[in-house]
Structure 1
């Protein structure tokens, strides 16, 4: 079943892949996120400030990237309240040029526990390079 069908949360096995998700992060999305999060740091929307700070270009908010990665799990679950634990390490910023950046998310079942939960291991890449590390969620399977 890995990678070919959407696994049912009640019958998953270790190694099953969740449906992949690709999200185009654009500068207008960054500005909207800045307004919602109240994080108006100009490195997220002003190219001059970002490059002046030594960045290659505007970068996405880390918490936006984390939230988007969580979607690969919550979309699969259908009920976000079944995600009981979630964490990531930020390994590389998502650089957003004027055309935007495609962030690809994937996830597999890494462990099924006796308490009815499972660990989901999440990947997040841009141009084949990881932007999150140790991204993991714990979910209730039923």
Structure 2
């Protein structure tokens, strides 16, 4: 069963707020010149922030379900422009077995996958 795609916008202000909440103040997430100096295409979103947005989609699809496991690999950066923002899209497919629901996710930005093998396993 396919789940409806959810879209989340990320702005530079979101990155500043996430840095404050997470304690991850790496300048590649806020300073264009630093990001470029280390070979990135620009300021990038925190991988864990992108993963959290994928988890938010799972919660919206399955409110109140117990999360047994949730994981992914960070495969491509989400570049966040100085003006406006960027959208990520989270799609999901469901498989049920042995009382558990496995949600295979596809998380993309501008048509490119940004998380590798994202998956949630839920109970309830």
Map 1:16-35; keep pairs closer than 5 Å. 16-35=1-20
Map 1:63-142; keep pairs closer than 5 Å. 63-79=48-64, 81-98=65-82, 99-109=84-94, 111-114=95-98, 116-140=99-123, 142=124
Counting matched residue pairs gives 123
Q: Identify unmatched segments of 5+ residues in structure 2.
A: none
Larger radius of gyration: 1
Partner SS for 2:14: helix
Map 1:27-66; keep pairs closer than 5 Å. 27-66=12-51
TM-score by length of 1: 0.83
Q: More strand per residue: 1 or 2?
A: 2
Q: Distance in 1 between matches of 2:81 and 2:22?
A: 21
Residue 112 of structure 1 and its aligned partner are, at CA, apart by 1.4
Task: Report if aligned partners of 1:17, 1:108 keep a CA contact under 8 Å in 2.
Answer: yes
Q: Identify unmatched segments of 5+ residues in structure 1.
A: 1-15
Q: Distance in 1 between matches of 2:5 and 2:110?
A: 15
Residue 19 of structure 1 and its aligned partner are, at CA, apart by 2.5
